[in-house]
């Protein structure tokens, strides 16, 4: 197998990649669902439990102070990684889903009035859709959609039109239907589309609309700079960035933090508790009720350190090379329908497709027999799949350890699927 310089450097860091599945070397191509963990992440958590384990922000004994320092250092490492000016704007959550729910409950719900609007796109993951449906229903508000570009029928190049955004926002102003928030993914978990966040934020802000960026897919694929992006909120999960499960991040601008009510009540988020009422700690602790995931923060900090050592520009370049190769292979087959941008412009290494007349689950099962892990289903984007006129798709999604030869194995296994189901 021909190995790229980056892959040669990193593959040995991931113990799970040594596994064989159904007699074949594992080709793990479901990185949009979750990423594998390098030894340094696994070791960081083990070392924490072996040496420093104790609850944070509570005890005054040595272990507790060590654990608290590690936890707060983790906050600083994350702030630096995403270009946040200070760590006070970093809230730890359980994942992207909880981060978005936090904004929906603690920021949007107290503000939203009947008839007001939240704007989402047709390509959002359910985690960036359902919380807004719930809050809109609670407040008598409305969810409005910034649609995908349309070609003929259901067909779309998987991109969003900035001119259309400007028009939709202007129309809402004219109708006196205030849009409280635009919430958009930076990278689609199905189409692979990379959305132009800087331009989106500029247009939205020009209409007085704050922006939440769902960076669940973007964070492992490109450098993120919340200060340059100027977004109001940004959410991501540790497990999609080669870190642990159970840990996520919400970044919020200072003025948005000031506007936010508590999310959940409990230990750690209070200043004073009386018989009937309480007062709150400052942000970010105000939004971190209960024992936080401190061992996971340790793992996440190790993951971020690992990615910084490998280099985000190098990771992005590697993904571009994999995507270029995959697109070339797709072009060879007329019976494969690929969704999302057909070329590498505005596209990342998340590629969803269908093999004509074969159910995506059947395709995924045949691939599994060859040791290839891909996802089949609606990928938590039923609105998008409906928009594309399909119920499900097969998705390959790249990580920094993937190789062109693994992509080629998919195309060979697709031949087997054709032989089994279409012969």
What is the distance between the alpha carbons of residues 191 and 218, in angstroms, rounded to a whole number?
13
Q: Which stretch binds ligand PLP (CB under 6 A): 91-99, 101-109, 169-177, 354-362?
A: 91-99
Identify any residues that bridge with 248 across adjacent strands, giving them in sequence order: 93, 237
- CB of residue 377 to ligand PLP, shortest distance in Å: 11
- Measured in whole angstroms, the distance separating CA 311 from the mean position of its chain's CA atoms is 19
- CB of residue 216 to ligand PLP, shortest distance in Å: 3
- CB of residue 96 to ligand PLP, shortest distance in Å: 4
**242 torsion bin: left (phi>0), alpha (psi -120 to 50), beta (else):** left
Alpha helices in 82-116 (DSSP H): 96-102, 109-111
Cβ closer to ligand PLP: 216 or 358?
216
Cβ closer to ligand PLP: 7 or 96?
96
Residue 285 interacts with ligand PLP (CB under 6 A): yes or no? no
Identify any residues that bridge with 144 across adjacent strands, giving them in sequence order: 119
Cβ closer to ligand PLP: 67 or 187?
187
- Of 363, 337, 366, nearest to 352 by C-alpha is 337
- CB of residue 30 to ligand PLP, shortest distance in Å: 10
Cβ closer to ligand PLP: 249 or 367?
249
Burial readout 182-205 (b: 16 or more C-beta within 10 A, e: otherwise): bbbbbbbbbbbbbbebeebbebbe
The verdict on whether 298 is a catalytic residue reads: no
Q: Which of 139, 231, 298, 380 is catalytic?
A: 380
Residue 95 interacts with ligand PLP (CB under 6 A): yes or no? yes
Contact with ligand PLP (CB under 6 A): which of 7, 36, 45, 237? 237
What is the distance between the alpha carbons of residues 49 and 82, in angstroms, rounded to a whole number?
27
Contact with ligand PLP (CB under 6 A): which of 101, 189, 193, 402? 189
Q: Which stretch binds ligand PLP (CB under 6 A): 122-130, 131-139, 368-376, 403-411?
A: 122-130
Cβ closer to ligand PLP: 38 or 131?
131
- Of 224, 191, 223, nearest to 351 by C-alpha is 191
What is the distance between the alpha carbons of residues 173 and 153, in angstroms, rounded to a whole number?
30
As a whole number of Å, the CA-based R_g of the chain is 22
Contact with ligand PLP (CB under 6 A): which of 7, 36, 185, 352? 185
Residue 381 tokens read as 């984007």
Contact with ligand PLP (CB under 6 A): which of 45, 217, 402, 404? 217
- Residue 266 C-beta-side C-alpha neighbours within 13 Å: 9
Residue 216 interacts with ligand PLP (CB under 6 A): yes or no? yes
- CB of residue 287 to ligand PLP, shortest distance in Å: 16
Residue 214 interacts with ligand PLP (CB under 6 A): yes or no? yes
- Measured in whole angstroms, the distance separating CA 161 from the mean position of its chain's CA atoms is 21
Contact with ligand PLP (CB under 6 A): which of 96, 285, 354, 404? 96
Listed in sequence order, the residues at least 6 apart from 87 whose beta carbon sits closer than 8 Å to its beta carbon are 72, 75, 76, 78, 79, 284
Subset of residues 146 to 175 that bind ligand PLP, contact rule: CB under 6 A: none
At 266, give phi and psi (nearest 5°): 160, -170
Q: Which stretch binds ligand PLP (CB under 6 A): 92-100, 107-115, 194-202, 412-420?
A: 92-100
Active-site residue list: 380
Residues that bind ligand PLP (CB under 6 A): 32, 95-97, 125, 127-128, 185, 189, 214, 216-217, 237
């Amino acid at each position: 197998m021909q190995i790229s310089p980056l892959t040669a450097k990193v593959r040995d860091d991931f113990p799970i990649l040594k596994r064989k599945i159904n007699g074949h070397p594992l080709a793990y191509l479901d990185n949009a669902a979750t990423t594998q963990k390098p030894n340094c992440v696994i070791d960081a958590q083990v070392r924490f439990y072996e040496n420093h384990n104790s609850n944070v922000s509570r005890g005054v004994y040595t272990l507790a102070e060590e654990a608290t320092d590690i936890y707060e250092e983790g906050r600083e490492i994350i702030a630096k990684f995403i270009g946040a000016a200070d760590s006070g704007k970093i809230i730890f959550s359980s994942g992207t889903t909880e981060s978005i729910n936090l904004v929906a409950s603690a920021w949007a719900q107290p503000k939203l009035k009947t008839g007001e609007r939240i704007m989402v796109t047709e390509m959002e993951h359910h985690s960036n859709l359902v919380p807004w449906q719930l809050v809109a229903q609670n407040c008598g508000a409305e969810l409005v959609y910034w649609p995908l570009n349309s070609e003929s029928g259901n067909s779309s190049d998987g991109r969003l039109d900035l001119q259309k955004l400007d028009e939709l926002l202007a129309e809402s102003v004219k109708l006196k239907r205030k849009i409280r928030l635009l919430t958009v993914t930076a990278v689609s978990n199905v189409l692979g589309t990379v959305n132009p966040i800087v331009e989106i934020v500029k247009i939205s802000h020009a209409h007085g609309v704050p922006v939440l960026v769902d960076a669940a897919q973007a964070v492992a694929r490109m450098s993120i700079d919340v200060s340059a992006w100027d977004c109001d909120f940004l959410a991501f999960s540790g497990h999609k960035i080669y870190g642990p499960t159970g840990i996520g991040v919400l970044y919020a601008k200072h003025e948005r933090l000031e506007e936010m009510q508590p999310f959940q009540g409990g230990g750690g988020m209070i200043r004073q508790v009386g018989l009937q009422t309480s007062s709150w700690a400052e942000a970010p602790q105000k939004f971190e009720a209960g024992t936080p995931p401190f061992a996971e923060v340790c793992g996440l900090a190790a993951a971020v350190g690992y990615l910084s050592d490998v280099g985000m520009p190098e990771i992005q370049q590697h993904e571009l090379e994999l995507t270029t190769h995959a697109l070339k292979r797709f072009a060879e087959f007329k019976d494969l329908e690929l969704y999302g941008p057909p070329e590498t412009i505005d596209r990342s290494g998340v590629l969803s497709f269908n093999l004509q007349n074969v159910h995506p689950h059947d395709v995924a099962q045949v691939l599994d027999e060859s040791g290839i892990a891909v996802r089949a289903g609606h990928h938590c984007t039923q609105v998008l799949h409906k928009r594309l006129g399909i119920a499900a798709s097969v998705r390959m999604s790249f990580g920094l350890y993937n190789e062109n030869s693994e992509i080629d194995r998919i195309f060979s296994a697709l031949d087997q699927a054709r032989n089994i189901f279409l012969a």
